[in-house]
Structure 1
Amino acid sequence: MSALTATERPTGVAPLRAVRPWTIAVAFGLLATVICAAGSWIPSLWGDEATTLMSARRPVSTLWPMLFHVDAVHGLYYLGMHGWIRLAGESPFALRLPSAVAIGFAVAAVTLLAGRRGGPKAAVVAGIVACVLPRLTYAGEEARSFAFTAAAAGWLTLLLLWLVDGSGRTAPASVRRTCWAVYAAGLALTSYLFLYTASLALAHLAVLLLSRASRPTLRAWLIATGCALLALAPLGLLAFFERSQIGYLADQSTDPLSLLWQPWFGNGWVAVAAWALILLAIGAWVRDRWGRPGATASPEGELPIGATLVGAAWLLLPTGAMLLVNLVFPMYTGRYSTFAAPAAALLIAEGLLVLGRFVARRSAIPAVAATGVGALLFIAVSTPAYLDQRGPYSKNDSDWSEVSSAMASVARPGDAVVFDESTRPSQRPRLAMHTYPSGFAGVIDPTLETPYTHNIGWADRVYTIPQAAARGRFDGVQRVWLVENDMDGSLHHYGLADLEALGFHETGRTVPTHRTMLIELTR
């Protein structure tokens, strides 16, 4: 029997190379959004997310004064969330959904970056890795600005590469000027979402220098970046004056092992696999670039820009710069490098492709099959981290949802609640009342001095128990629920003696939650 002719071959499935890059980008962007949104309502909101919710609830007239006192570096995000919660509500799912969508955009950018020179196969592998990379799936279920910085960094990098190593090089001068203006505005707005994202400029500069960008290109980039940094000056000044807000980072451990896994990988096993693939990708790039001369340059002497160069500069330089500053002034924690997580996905995908080619050269296994098996193994090693992220206490051990449910089950209208105020502001159980208010309906808050909506800071201002008693706040109260932090079974006993001095006594009834204890007192 003769072989099928070209016209007789099945046409139901188009070859991968015929799939448009934007089709791959949209598909993986939607998939990443679904993966991040799935189960995002399960973990209890935690301190930073409470700050987001409480700041977004504020009238804009009180939000601006707050930002001139605290959290200026998150002001643009809070303003966006201010509008969002009025449309979508305040449930954990609603609060976290914008971040899931933002990660979808970040993953779409990763596929386009990988496919620029690697083709559809590289785009698909990068999309798979980005969809399961623990730092991205974590950011996609957290009501903070970090997911947006990852997306913005990805699209800004794409715009830069289009201008210097894509069809933008031959675009009309007016179009190029407009695109450089968009780049400058994008870098400024991204940095207003989170100030440290401005360090992305270091990565972009390195890419331009290592690819031998022309002088006009460097000049245009310097002008655009200079304008962006100038626009950031007010935020930088505010951040400097508000620097005491992150003073607690001085007590945070920054040992080398935690730095290898914390910023992007979530756990040690993912970090081992990821770094092995990243080093493989960088090693192959170094060999091809310097060990095998012959890279084709443009007539102007520029070299083509591959995903490995982009990923390495983007992953290492901004975070390296932040760590250097951290040696002098503590200002870094792993989540601050979220905007570089797409670069990690790029490099891991490149490592899988290199591994696939290596296996194919030394065995009968096709490169596609070897790469596919590697991608499946990376999914497998990342899955436990994903599942851990969606546990009920996965956000800094917060159990405020459980506290609210417990309070609803035992409190009666007219009962008073006194919260442990002795812990760090972001861990205080009082925030359970603001993040899950339904369980506290009808309960009196006698120690409240000024609600957060009327404060210059983001938190409530409270009286001590004796101060509240002197103002008659406990008059007529017969039952109090003392809500104490119960970390590792060690109660703080905050306010217990003061309540006993007012005639309240423990009944012996307690309601434990994951890290909190509700203690009943009556008189």
Structure 2
Amino acid sequence: MSLDARAPLAPRTVSPPAPVRRRSPVRAEALVVLASSSLALALGLWGIRRQNTMWGDESVTHQLAHRDLSQIWLTAQHIDLVHALYYAVMHEIFGLFGDGLLTLRLPSVLATCVAAGGVGLLGLRLAGPRAGLLAGLVFPVLPQVQKYAQEGRSYAMVCALVTWATYALVVSVPHRARWRWAVYGSTMLLACLLHEFAVLALIAHGVTLVVSRVPRPVLRVWGATAACVVAGLSPLVVRSAGQSGQVSWIDGPVRLPEFLAVTVVGVACARTHLGARGPVRLSALALPILVLPCLLLLAASLVKPLFVDRYVLYSNIGTALLLGAWGDRCRRPGRSSRVTWIAVVVVLAALVPVSPWLRTPQSRSNDVTAISAAVREEGRPGDGLLYLPGRHRIWTGAHPEDTRSLTDLALARDPVSSNTLAGVELPARDIAARMLDFDRIVVVRGPAGAYTPTDPREAAKTGTLRRHFREHGTTRVNGARVTVYARDRGPSPEAGPRSGSPR
């Protein structure tokens, strides 16, 4: 049979390969933002009331934000100018939603949610969806972030603004559109106006661009934008420099060991090759924002102590990004998961005891709610009231009903009428004379050894108490002592110090 006579072969059909299902960028971004923000919201709402307690700085927010905007501005001319914008924002929030603890702290919770979503998107853009998801989930779990997510102060808001300014920077590098740089600059300026130490993140951004070797036109436009931010911040810096006394309480780095521990973990992760997506590498972005603000603040502290961990809360952006990228790399095919699981166990072991503790009154340096309650319980109508030193008057300012039946012996002008935080006190001689008109005085002061009187007014208070009064009981609360003094009328078998039960 000839070949031509053979039956024709059926044509072979090759089925096309099954399409690879890829998650769309929009869906990936939505997942990262939703998961990160949801975890941040859950952690922020967990124990947000801290057993209905408030600490001193939150009390300042509560008191100043309840003043008129004009009074806030006049007060800021004397003290706390760096927080004036935040007080104005909280004034409007209190006017809309009331003045409870939830209203005081919810803005910080929501700001942390916004920051967590931004960290997730940064990780997604720089290292991929899984790294972004991990970074977004790590960020709200970090102890410092958990702590300041539940405080009525500006630090969570500043962190959120720095996060999204950083995202705007990363997006602006390849596109170079002017409006993108305008968004970056305005967001950074707003962060700096809420707290001027946010400007340290601007320096970190500049280092990121230099290390990433971006084109010269990009460096020029960033330089112009940074100059505008600094120019907009300069009036605040110049005016607030005269109020440096309000950070005189800082006698050394505050909570530096905890901050350094997180920094060391982030730097260790950065030693792993994390790859790169786009012109900016993740490590080139994360390391400067993690390390530089801390180092610059510590360097400034050699001249004047300034380092407090909350001032550079946004440094945790770098920690979360590095941990997220490291976790993604450890989970890639072909790599042992043993290291990852060990790391997860260690992290959980460290966080399990910390997270519940952060939601207790003892996690803060003082509890003004307990202080006011102790004054109310120990005082009798008509008793005198004394603060040692006078700045501690802010401790009871958020609960004026607890001291209404007592006479503030040193006060000449109240805080509102004098546009100050703690009011204006009488001269030393007048304070001593008023003290001698009372048989019982309730004294509010800090823990033992926390204060040595140097001002003549404070010396007059302590000297008059020592010469003419006898201690009749001390109640110790978180961060303070409330002591009752009775006029010393001579030896008495019933007189003598007694110690109240700690609360």
Q: Residue 393 of structure 1: SS of its match in structure 2?
A: helix
1:296-307 matches, cutoff 5 A: 304-307=279-282
Query: One-letter code of the match for 2:477?
Result: T
Given that residues 54 and 368 in structure 2 are in contact (C-alpha distance below 8 angstroms), is that contact kept between their aligned partners in structure 1?
A: yes
Query: One-letter code of the match for 2:272?
Result: A
Deviates more, 1:487-496 or 1:40-49: 487-496
Given that residues 416 and 480 in structure 1 are in contact (C-alpha distance below 8 angstroms), is that contact kept between their aligned partners in structure 2?
A: yes
Aligned partners of 1:490 and 1:152: how far apart in 2?
37
Mapped pair 1:23 → 2:31? yes
Given that residues 28 and 127 in structure 1 are in contact (C-alpha distance below 8 angstroms), is that contact kept between their aligned partners in structure 2?
A: yes
Aligned partners of 1:37 and 1:474: how far apart in 2?
49
Given that residues 474 and 482 in structure 2 are in contact (C-alpha distance below 8 angstroms), is that contact kept between their aligned partners in structure 1?
A: yes
Mapped pair 1:195 → 2:196? yes
Q: Which residue of 2 aligns with 1:279?
A: 267
Given that residues 131 and 327 in structure 2 are in contact (C-alpha distance below 8 angstroms), is that contact kept between their aligned partners in structure 1?
A: no
Q: Residue 187 of structure 1: SS of its match in structure 2?
A: helix
Q: Which residue of 2 aligns with 1:418?
A: 385
- Match of residue 498, structure 1, among 449, 464, 467: 464
Mapped pair 1:521 → 2:486? yes
Mapped pair 1:454 → 2:420? no
CA RMSD of aligned residues (A): 3.5
Q: Residue 285 of structure 2: SS of its match in structure 1?
A: helix
Q: Which residue of 2 aligns with 1:346?
A: 321
Deviations 1:390-447 (Å, cap 9, x if unpaired)?
2212211x132222223344545x3334233238x3xx2x333213334334333333
Deviations 1:69-112 (Å, cap 9, x if unpaired)?
22222121111112222233333332122111111111111111
The structural deviation recorded for 1:241 is: 2.3
Given that residues 59 and 368 in structure 2 are in contact (C-alpha distance below 8 angstroms), is that contact kept between their aligned partners in structure 1?
A: no
Aligned partners of 2:151 and 2:252: how far apart in 1?
21
Given that residues 374 and 482 in structure 2 are in contact (C-alpha distance below 8 angstroms), is that contact kept between their aligned partners in structure 1?
A: no
Q: Which residue of 2 aligns with 1:405?
A: 373
The structural deviation recorded for 1:496 is: 6.8
The structural deviation recorded for 1:184 is: 1.6
1:344-423 matches, cutoff 5 A: 344-357=319-332, 361=334, 363=336, 365=337, 371=340, 374-375=343-344, 377-396=346-365, 398-412=366-380, 414-422=381-389
Given that residues 484 and 517 in structure 1 are in contact (C-alpha distance below 8 angstroms), is that contact kept between their aligned partners in structure 2?
A: yes
Mapped pair 1:336 → 2:324? no
Deviations 1:104-133 (Å, cap 9, x if unpaired)?
111111111111143332122112211210
Q: Residue 420 of structure 1: SS of its match in structure 2?
A: strand
Count how many residue pairs are aligned between Structure 1 and Structure 2: 463
Do the aligned partners of residues 215 and 71 (structure 1) sit closer, same or farther apart at CA in structure 2, a change above 3 Å counting?
same
Deviates more, 1:229-238 or 1:49-58: 49-58
Deviates more, 1:479-488 or 1:315-324: 479-488
Do the aligned partners of residues 19 and 488 (structure 1) sit closer, same or farther apart at CA in structure 2, a change above 3 Å counting?
farther
1:165-314 matches, cutoff 5 A: 165=174, 168=175, 176-249=177-250, 251-253=251-253, 259=256, 261-263=257-259, 271=261, 274-275=262-263, 277-285=265-273, 304-314=279-289
Query: One-letter code of the match for 2:386?
Result: F
Do the aligned partners of residues 379 and 438 (structure 1) sit closer, same or farther apart at CA in structure 2, a change above 3 Å counting?
farther
- Match of residue 93, structure 2, among 77, 80, 84: 84
Query: One-letter code of the match for 1:21?
Result: E
Do the aligned partners of residues 225 and 419 (structure 1) sit closer, same or farther apart at CA in structure 2, a change above 3 Å counting?
same
Q: Residue 134 of structure 2: SS of its match in structure 1?
A: helix
The structural deviation recorded for 1:285 is: 3.2
Do the aligned partners of residues 490 and 519 (structure 1) sit closer, same or farther apart at CA in structure 2, a change above 3 Å counting?
farther
Given that residues 119 and 317 in structure 2 are in contact (C-alpha distance below 8 angstroms), is that contact kept between their aligned partners in structure 1?
A: yes
The structural deviation recorded for 1:195 is: 0.6
The structural deviation recorded for 1:505 is: 6.1
Q: Which has the larger radius of gyration?
A: 2
Aligned partners of 2:375 and 2:246: how far apart in 1?
31
Query: One-letter code of the match for 2:295?
Result: G
Mapped pair 1:440 → 2:409? no
The structural deviation recorded for 1:450 is: 1.0
Do the aligned partners of residues 437 and 131 (structure 1) sit closer, same or farther apart at CA in structure 2, a change above 3 Å counting?
same
The structural deviation recorded for 1:200 is: 1.3
Aligned partners of 2:123 and 2:93: how far apart in 1?
32
Q: Which residue of 2 aligns with 1:173?
A: none
Given that residues 416 and 479 in structure 1 are in contact (C-alpha distance below 8 angstroms), is that contact kept between their aligned partners in structure 2?
A: yes
Mapped pair 1:61 → 2:61? no
Gaps of 5+ in 2: 1-16, 490-503
Q: Which residue of 1 aligns with 2:492?
A: none
Mapped pair 1:481 → 2:442? yes
Do the aligned partners of residues 99 and 499 (structure 1) sit closer, same or farther apart at CA in structure 2, a change above 3 Å counting?
same
Deviates more, 1:452-461 or 1:188-197: 452-461
The structural deviation recorded for 1:150 is: 0.9
Gaps of 5+ in 1: 1-5, 170-175, 266-270, 289-294, 297-302
Higher relative contact order (CA 8 A, sep 6+): 1
Do the aligned partners of residues 417 and 386 (structure 1) sit closer, same or farther apart at CA in structure 2, a change above 3 Å counting?
farther
Q: Residue 482 of structure 1: SS of its match in structure 2?
A: strand
Aligned partners of 1:81 and 1:304: how far apart in 2?
39
Aligned partners of 2:161 and 2:341: how far apart in 1?
29
Do the aligned partners of residues 484 and 158 (structure 1) sit closer, same or farther apart at CA in structure 2, a change above 3 Å counting?
closer
- Match of residue 166, structure 2, among 157, 163, 174: 157
Q: Residue 201 of structure 1: SS of its match in structure 2?
A: helix
Given that residues 266 and 318 in structure 2 are in contact (C-alpha distance below 8 angstroms), is that contact kept between their aligned partners in structure 1?
A: no
Aligned partners of 2:36 and 2:215: how far apart in 1?
34
Q: Which residue of 2 aligns with 1:127?
A: 136
Deviations 1:252-274 (Å, cap 9, x if unpaired)?
158xxx64x343x7xxxxx2xx4
The structural deviation recorded for 1:155 is: 0.2
Aligned partners of 1:409 and 1:400: how far apart in 2?
14
The structural deviation recorded for 1:500 is: 8.4
Given that residues 62 and 398 in structure 2 are in contact (C-alpha distance below 8 angstroms), is that contact kept between their aligned partners in structure 1?
A: yes
Query: One-letter code of the match for 1:281?
Result: C
Aligned partners of 2:206 and 2:311: how far apart in 1?
20
The structural deviation recorded for 1:177 is: 1.8
Query: One-letter code of the match for 1:483?
Result: V
Q: Which residue of 2 aligns with 1:317?
A: 292
Do the aligned partners of residues 372 and 353 (structure 1) sit closer, same or farther apart at CA in structure 2, a change above 3 Å counting?
farther
Aligned partners of 2:102 and 2:370: how far apart in 1?
16
Aligned partners of 2:310 and 2:367: how far apart in 1?
21
Mapped pair 1:39 → 2:47? yes
Q: Residue 239 of structure 2: SS of its match in structure 1?
A: helix
TM-score scaled by length of structure 1: 0.78
The structural deviation recorded for 1:513 is: 3.0
Do the aligned partners of residues 490 and 324 (structure 1) sit closer, same or farther apart at CA in structure 2, a change above 3 Å counting?
closer
Mapped pair 1:327 → 2:296? no
Query: One-letter code of the match for 2:317?
Result: P
Deviates more, 1:319-328 or 1:508-517: 508-517
The structural deviation recorded for 1:520 is: 5.7
Aligned partners of 1:72 and 1:497: how far apart in 2?
34
Aligned partners of 1:436 and 1:182: how far apart in 2?
41
Percent sequence identity is 26
